[in-house]
Amino acid sequence: MYDIAVIGAGPAGLAAGLYAARAKLNVAIFEKLGEGGQLAITADIENYPGAQEGVTGAELAHRMKEQALHFGAKIVKDTINAVELAGKVKKITGAKERYEAKTVIIANGGKARPIGCPGEAELAGKGVSYCATCDANFFQDLEVFVIGGGDSALDEAMYLTKFARKVYIVHRRDEFRAAKSIQEKALKNPKIEVVWDSVVQEIKGDGVVESIVLKNVKTGEIKEHPASEDDGTFGIFPFIGFDPVSEIYKGQVTMDGSGYIVADENMKTNLPGVFAAGDIRVKALRQVVTAAADGAIAAVMAEKYIEHGE
Ligand code: NAP
C-alpha cells in the first residue's frame, strides 16, 4: 500500500512526488508515457523562476523527475484506467496492475483540444500536429499554419519559425489572448503573418495535408490555401487550448461543467484523502510554476491527512 499515489508525472505530479519523498513517505508517481506532460512538449521555458535561458520543457521535466527519484519517489509506468476513491483505501486500476494507496493526488492535466473540422482527425500525424517540439523538423522550409491566439499558439509559432519558411497564425478574433510580452515578440518576427478573424473550416489532403480552408468570421469570405506545387504539403498546428483528462474521476470527484476538478486552496477535493493539483483543477493561472506549487501543497496536505486523518 502506497502512502501517496500520484496520478500524472507533469510538473504538479513530479513536485508532489518530490515533497512526499522528502517527507519519507512511500510515494508512487504513475506516468502513462514519458515525464513532463504539457511541459515536455513546450519548446522554451522563460517564465519558470530560475530556469536557465534556453532550457526546453523536456529538459526541465527531466530534471524534475531526476530530483524526485533522487529523494526516493518511485515512478510507475502504467496507464490508470479506473479509480475507487471514496473509501479509506484508495483503489487504482492500471492497464498492467492494481494498486492501493492511503491518499491520491490527481495530477494528470489535460490534452490538446482538437479543432473538430472535417479532415483534422484523418490527417493527424500526416501534417496536422499538436506538438511543435515533436514535429517541427518535418516542416523544414515549408509553410506552417498555427491555429489559436493564446500563449501556446504564439510561443509555438515562434519556435516553428526556426524550421518553417513561413508561419501563419490563424486566430478567430482581431486581438490575441496571449500575454503582451509574447505578442510583441511574435508580431516582430518577420516569418510570422497573422490571419485575423478566421477559423478553419476544413483540412484537405490525400494521405498528407494539401490544403486548408479558412473562413473569415466577420465577412463570411471563404479562402482555400493549397500547398504550392513545389512543396506539395504544409503543416497545421492547432493550439486552441486543452481539455482536462478527468473522465475516470467522474461521479466521484466534484467537477465544473468543463470537467475541471474542484479543489480548495489546500488542493483538497470533496473526498477525504483525495487531492487535485495542476492543470486538471479549476484555477485562474495554468503555468509550470503554479502546477509545481499545487503539487507541493497537495503532498504536504496528504502527509497531514495520513498523520491526523484530516
Ligand atoms: P488558451 O489560453 O485557452 O488559448 C486558446 C486560444 O485558442 C484562444 O486564443 C482562443 O480564442 C482560441 N480558441 C479556442 N477555441 C477555439 C476554437 N474552437 N477555434 C478557434 N480558436 C479557438 O490556451 P493555451 O494557449 O493552450 O494556453 C493554456 C494555458 O497555458 C493558459 O493558461 C496559458 O496562459 C498557459 N500557457 C502559458 C505559457 C507561457 O506562459 N509562456 C505558454 C503556454 C501556455 P479566444 O482568444 O477568442 O478565446
Q: How far is CA 175 from CA 103, 150, 169, 183, 189, in A?
A: 44, 10, 12, 10, 17
Query: E strand or H helix at 231, and its extent?
Result: none
Nearest CA to ligand 1 atom 39: 151
pLDDT band at 43 (very low <50, low <70, confident <90, very high): confident
The confidence score (pLDDT) of residue 52 equals 86
Pocket of ligand 1 (CB under 6 A): 47, 115, 148-153, 155, 172-173, 177, 199, 239-242, 286-287
* CA–CA separation, 292 and 13 (whole Å): 8
SS3 state at 104: strand
pLDDT band at 184 (very low <50, low <70, confident <90, very high): very high
Higher pLDDT, 204 or 309: 204
Cβ atoms within 10 Å of 84's Cβ, excluding its own: 12
Nearest CA to ligand 1 atom 14: 240
User: Cβ(244)–Cβ(280) under 8 Å?
Assistant: yes
Which triple of cell numbers denotes residue 161? Answer: 519559425
Mutate to test the pocket of ligand 1, among 152, 156, 215 (most ligand atoms within 8 A of CB): 152
Mutate to test the pocket of ligand 1, among 38, 44, 45, 151 (most ligand atoms within 8 A of CB): 151
User: Cβ(20)–Cβ(121) under 8 Å?
Assistant: no
Give 121 Cα–ligand 1 centroid separation in angstroms.
20
Nearest CA to ligand 1 atom 9: 149
| Enzyme catalytic residues | 131, 134-135
Give 150 Cα–ligand 1 centroid separation in angstroms.
4
Give 239 Cα–ligand 1 centroid separation in angstroms.
7
Cβ atoms within 10 Å of 162's Cβ, excluding its own: 13
Q: At what angle do helices 11-22 and 288-308 cross, to 10 degrees?
A: 40
Residue burial 112-135, b: 16+ Cβ < 10 Å; e: rest: beebebebbeebbeebbbbbbbeb
Which triple of cell numbers denotes residue 33? Answer: 508515457
Locate the ligand 1 atom nearest the alpha carbon of residue 240 and give its number. Answer: 7
Query: E strand or H helix at 92, and its extent?
Result: strand 90-94
Give 113 Cα–ligand 1 centroid separation in angstroms.
10
The confidence score (pLDDT) of residue 166 equals 98
User: pLDDT tens digits for 229-259?
Assistant: 999 999 999 999 989 999 999 999 999 999 9
The confidence score (pLDDT) of residue 64 equals 96
User: pLDDT tens digits for 120-173?
Assistant: 999 999 999 998 988 999 999 999 999 999 999 999 999 999 999 999 999 999
The confidence score (pLDDT) of residue 211 equals 98
Mutate to test the pocket of ligand 1, among 177, 180, 218 (most ligand atoms within 8 A of CB): 177
Give 154 Cα–ligand 1 centroid separation in angstroms.
9
pLDDT band at 20 (very low <50, low <70, confident <90, very high): very high
* CA–CA separation, 101 and 27 (whole Å): 9
SS3 state at 251: coil
User: Cβ(142)–Cβ(234) under 8 Å?
Assistant: yes
Cβ atoms within 10 Å of 228's Cβ, excluding its own: 12
